Amino acid sequence: MPDNLESFSGRPERAADFLPRTVPVVPPIHHSVTYFLDDQAYKDVQEGGLREHWYGRFRNPGVDLAAREIAELEGAEAGFMTSSGMGAIASTLLALLSAGDRVVAAKQVYGDTHDLLSRDLAAWGFDVRRVDALDLDAWQDEIGAGPTRVVYAETMSNPQLDLTDLAAVADLAHAAGALLVVDNTFATPYAVRPLSLGADAVIHSATKFLNGHSDAIAGVVVGDDDLVTRVQQRVITLGTCLGPYEAYLVWRGLQTFRVRMAQQTATAGALAEALSRRQDVVRVRYPGLGAMVAITVAGGDERAHDVVRRLRVGCEATSLGGVETLVSTPFNSSHFSLTPQQRLAARIDDGMIRISCGLEPTDALVADFVQSLDSTGRSR
Ligand SMILES: Cc1ncc(COP(=O)(O)O)c(C=O)c1O
């Protein structure tokens, strides 16, 4: 073995010599899962372990940075990132609930959230009640019918774009001693900040508009310090933490969040307006908040799928919130796990197409939908 290899220590302390004195404009990605423990570190860990960096599943500087940016966008005291949007939803609910607790949730939610609520949580012994998100009387009846612990809704639901009256539901929840947890993935803080309307926790699939580039799976929960610490404790035991590289991708996407949302929202408005003039589009849902549009075409799910297949600008793909327009039919993607009856009960029409508007030129996207609808032969 050469002499220089014999003396090669490879000690990681050496990395400290290469830390810049100046602050980098782009934050570093901290891949280290562990940290040198000195006397101060032991003391800090004993006194407030969750605040310190000593193990990557507990916290990571770049992950914290992305969480801080999102908390700021939502007007929250604190935030914590998770492995995915579902990781955020499951970790938050399991942090706030104890065995047997009652949850009142909207029927209009993302398909996997539906499964978590009505299949998994119910199987684990929680008492889960579902209500039509648009029916305030139903919210009131169910929230008041028992000792409710958590109320759950999407600001603007996937895929119906139904808006929950968050201020009213927050009042009902608080009067019953419950916490309101809101998934703000579709509306985004560009359009709505649920905490300002009374929500106690806001969740995102950061995979979507916050990241914006369809290249990272991530989730986040924001709220007050106490609530976020409770969720962090659950993330630690469930292992639903986010990796440092994904956190960096979310952070990078956030740098263009405002301009992306402005452009994508303008395109969504123009597309909704153009499609609402067609007779073969029987319903256009666009509440004017954000970049999501849902349309229902005459001819049901079969034609809807045909329309999506013939798009040349829009991509037939699940997910949403990317710089590319992502188009899907809920019946065979986001909500395939629901029966046709469950889909109708959740106001998912036969023939619905979900559109997440991207950054392509607006005219090109509108023309793409026009040619696709025309070519399926039902235009009048
Ligand atoms: C509204 C909503 N919430 C949560 C999720 C789950 O997010 P993730 O795929 O990041 O787990 C999705 C995914 O599509 C969603 O649309």
Position 70 in a domain:
yes
My answer on whether 232 and 345 are in the same domain is: no
pLDDT, one tens digit per residue, over 281-314 is 999 999 999 999 999 999 999 999 999 999 999 9
- Are both 215 and 318 inside the same structural domain? no
Of 254, 276, 306, the one marking the end of a domain is 254
In the predicted model, is pLDDT for residue 13 greater than 80?
A: no
Q: Is the pLDDT of residue 260 over 90?
A: yes
Question: Which pLDDT score is estimated for 9?
Answer: 67
Instruction: Give residue 218's domain range.
Output: 39-254
pLDDT of 163 above 90:
yes
> Does some domain include residue 26?
no
pLDDT band for position 377 (50/70/90)? low
User: Same domain, yes or no, for 166 and 48?
Assistant: yes
- Examine the pLDDT at 379 and tell me if it is beyond 50: no
pLDDT at 18 over 90: no
Which residue of the set 110, 152, 190, 286 is catalytic? 110
Domain count for the chain, please give it: 2
Note whether 103 and 128 are within 8 A (CB).
yes
Residue 299 lies in a domain: yes
Tell me which of 51, 57, 119, 258 is the catalytic residue: 57
In a domain, 1, yes or no: no
- For residue 380, pLDDT over 50 is answered with no
Query: Do 145 and 221 lie in a common domain?
Result: yes
Residue 348 confidence class, pLDDT cut points 50, 70, 90: very high
Q: What is the pLDDT of residues 77-96, one digit of tens each?
A: 999 999 999 999 999 999 99
Compute the distance between CA of residue 92 and CA of residue 201 in angstroms, rounded to an integer: 9
Atom of ligand 1 nearest to the CA of 218: 10
Any domain includes 43 = yes
Contact 45, 54 (CB under 8 A): yes
Residue 59 shares a structural domain with residue 143 = yes
Q: Is 252 a catalytic residue?
A: no
The per-residue pLDDT for 251 is 98
From 205, 209, 336, give the residue whose CB has the most ligand 1 atoms within 8 Å, as the site to mutate.
205
- Is there a single domain that holds both residue 275 and residue 354? yes
Asked if residue 29 is part of any domain, the answer here is no
* Ligand 1 atom 8: residue of nearest CA: 85
Name residues contacting ligand 1 (CB within 6 A). Answer: 84-86, 110, 113, 154, 158, 183, 185-186, 205, 207, 217, 219
- For residues 163 and 187, give the distance between their C-alpha atoms in angstroms, rounded to a whole number: 9
CATH number at residue 270: 3.90.1150.10
Shortest-distance atom of ligand 1 to CA 319: 14
Residue 345's pLDDT is 87
Would residue 43 show up in a list of annotated catalytic residues for this protein?
no
Per-residue pLDDT at 10: 67
Q: What is the pLDDT of residue 268?
A: 98
Residue 287 shares a structural domain with residue 246: no
Q: How far is the CA of 13 from the centre of ligand 1 (A)?
A: 40
Tell me, yes or no, if 110 is annotated catalytic. yes
Does residue 49 have a pLDDT over 70? no
Whether residue 160 sits in one domain with residue 50: yes
Structural domain includes residue 366: yes
190 catalytically annotated: no
What is the rounded distance in angstroms from the CA atom of residue 148 to the CA atom of residue 5?
65
Q: 228 with 221: CB under 8 angstroms?
A: yes
